[in-house]
Structure 1
Amino acid sequence: MNEDQFKGTAKQVKGSVKEAIGKLTGNERTEAEGKAEKAAGKVQDSVGDAKEGVKRTIDRI
């Protein structure tokens, strides 16, 4: 697991918690922020996956 994957996963978890808190409290803004943070985490996680794939390919060469 590289740094991007770790940080992306952490953002997803934080976003999920924030989204849940927003739903429980009826705070639409907090819920939306959580969803946005979760999406950003998924993107960062995907970047980390791509980096790992490139690294594996280079290691094979």
Structure 2
Amino acid sequence: MGLGEKVKLAAAKVSGKGKEAAGEAAGNDRLKAEGKTEHAKAELKQAADKAKGIFKKH
């Protein structure tokens, strides 16, 4: 994963947390769920990349 992709994933995580917080504050369950989903997707992609890196080293 290149630097650009890492930045995009970090931005998606932050954006997801922001949407989640905004949904919580506004009482908007749809926005809250959308934020959680966006955050989780970014975390999964990062975890997959880390796992890929571990196997490349060996």
Query: What range is the shorter-chain TM-score in?
Result: 0.7 to 0.9
Q: Deviations over 1:29-52 (max 9, x none)?
A: 100100011111111011110122
Mark the structure with the bigger radius of gyration: 1
How does the TM-score come out when normalised to structure 1? 0.72
Higher RCO (C-alpha under 8 Å, 6+ residues apart)? 1
Moved over 4 A (4+): none
Between the aligned partners of 1:10 and 1:54, the Cα distance in structure 2 is 26
Between the aligned partners of 1:9 and 1:25, the Cα distance in structure 2 is 24
How does the TM-score come out when normalised to structure 2? 0.75
Identity %: 36
Q: How many residues align?
A: 55
2:25 pairs with 1:29: no
Give unpaired runs (5+ residues) of structure 1: none
Q: How large is the Cα RMSD of the aligned pairs?
A: 1.7
Give the superposition deviation at 1:25: 1.4
